[in-house]
Amino acid sequence: MEKADKTEKISLVIPCFNERGAIEKTIDEIKFLLGKVLWEIVIVDDGSFDGTHEILKNRADIKLVRNPYNKGYGFSIKKGIAAASGDIIAITDADGTYPIEDILLMMKKLEEGYDLIIGKRTNLKSFDPFLKKLSRYCFKQLAQFVAGEKILDVNSGLRVFRKSTIIKYFPHTSSGFSFSLSTTLIFILEGLSVYYFPIEYRPRIGKSKVRYVRDILRSAQILTETITLYNPIKLFMLIAGVISMLGLVALLVPVFTEGLSVSFGIMVYVIVQGIALFTLSLGLIAVLMKKRIFNDK
DSSP-derived 3-state class of residue 290: helix
Residue range 157-176, pLDDT digits in tens: 999 999 999 999 998 888 88
pLDDT of residue 205: 75
Say how far apart CA 208 and CA 39 lie, in whole Å: 29
Asked if 173 and 183 count as a contact pair (C-beta separation under 8 A), the reply is yes
Backbone angles phi, psi at 11, to 5 degrees: -115, 135
Q: Name the most confidently modeled range: 124-133, 194-203, 209-218, 242-251.
A: 194-203
Say how far apart CA 106 and CA 118 lie, in whole Å: 8
198: CB partners within 8 A, 6+ apart: 120, 122
Structure confidence at residue 259 as a pLDDT band (50, 70, 90)? low
Say how far apart CA 87 and CA 83 lie, in whole Å: 12
Residue range 11-44, pLDDT digits in tens: 999 999 999 989 999 999 999 999 889 999 999 9
pLDDT of residue 75: 94
In this structure, what is the dihedral angle of CA atoms 160, 86, 105, 191, given to the nearest 10 degrees? 40
% residues pLDDT > 70 (the chain): 90
Residue range 286-297, pLDDT digits in tens: 777 776 766 665
Averaged pLDDT of the chain: 86
pLDDT of residue 3: 45
% residues pLDDT > 90 (the chain): 44
Task: Inform me whether the pLDDT recorded for 5 exceeds 70.
Answer: no
Comparing 195 with 218, the larger pLDDT belongs to 195
Which whole number is the average pLDDT over 45-66? 93
Q: Which residues lie across from 44 on neighbouring strands?
A: 15, 65
Strands (E), 101-228: 116-121, 159-162, 194-199
pLDDT of residue 6: 56
Task: Inform me whether the pLDDT recorded for 209 exceeds 70.
Answer: no
pLDDT of residue 54: 93
Comparing 245 with 133, the larger pLDDT belongs to 245
Task: Inform me whether the pLDDT recorded for 247 exceeds 70.
Answer: yes
Which whole number is the average pLDDT over 179-187? 90
Predicted model pTM: 0.80
Asked if 196 and 152 count as a contact pair (C-beta separation under 8 A), the reply is yes
